[in-house]
A and B are shown apart, each in its own frame.
Chain A
Amino acid sequence: GESVGLHLPTLSVQEGDNSIINCAYSNSASDYFIWYKQESGKGPQFIIDIRSNMDKRQGQRVTVLLNKTVKHLSLQIAATQPGDSAVYFCAETYFGSGGGYNKLIFGAGTRLAVHP
């Protein structure tokens, strides 16, 4: 399939190591954040989300940290595996006034390359 994120920053890790992917968001009023994983030729896949009343949330092998003071999110992947190789996007949710809609504003993305 066609590659996603040809010129994105790349994080290279060894299989079994822990990975940390960072993201800065723009809107201090955002209160819902999501991390997505996108493999080549596929759509973004939901990994984990966090609301602004939390500063940490854990899933299976993944942890998201939220620092509202500096508008920063991070995704930690424990014991990284070759199958984790993909482009990772953070997204903040913007809620439109009046119409009740919500849209995602995506960060630039980071490519994670896992080496055996």
Chain B
Amino acid sequence: ETGVTQSPTHLIKTRGQQVTLRCSSQSGHNTVSWYQQALGQGPQFIFQYYREEENGRGNFPPRFSGLQFPNYSSELNVNALELDDSALYLCASSMTGGPLHFGNGTRLTVT
């Protein structure tokens, strides 16, 4: 069984740029969620996708957007990067009602 995989593992961007992070869900999972984890804190919910539509969103601005594809892979896009966007971005997949299984994340540094 293949787990959740994310790419790239590390990324450095400049303030104002745009970034796309990618995720492949665990086989058989139909729901994908994205979380932001700042250093020293627990992950914070960004949004969730089910059947290729966003069905829930946390307290993040519209410059955070996403996509879920028919094969349940997913992207997180962040526009107009700010220094405070520097964090570990985690993708998690699940079956409806089941526990979330996380990937190892993408470490984004904004300079």
Residues of A at the B interface (CB closer than 8 Å) are 2, 4-8, 34, 36, 41-46, 49, 89, 91, 96, 99-109
Q: Which residue of A lies closest to B103 (CB)?
A: A43
Instruction: Report how far A89 CA is from B37 CA in the complex, Å.
Output: 12
| Closest beta carbon of chain A to B26's beta carbon, Å | 11
Contact B40 A7 (CB under 8 A): yes
Interface size on B, residues (CB 8 A): 27
Instruction: Report how far A44 CA is from B90 CA in the complex, Å.
Output: 9
* Residue numbers in A under 8 Å from B28 (CB-CB): none
Q: Which residue of A lies closest to B37 (CB)?
A: A4
Contact B56 A43 (CB under 8 A): no
| Closest beta carbon of chain B to A4's beta carbon, Å | 8
B 73-110 to A, binary, CB cutoff 8 A, 1 in contact else 0:
00000000000000000101000010111111101000
Contact A103 B104 (CB under 8 A): no
Instruction: Report how far A44 CA is from B39 CA in the complex, Å.
Output: 14
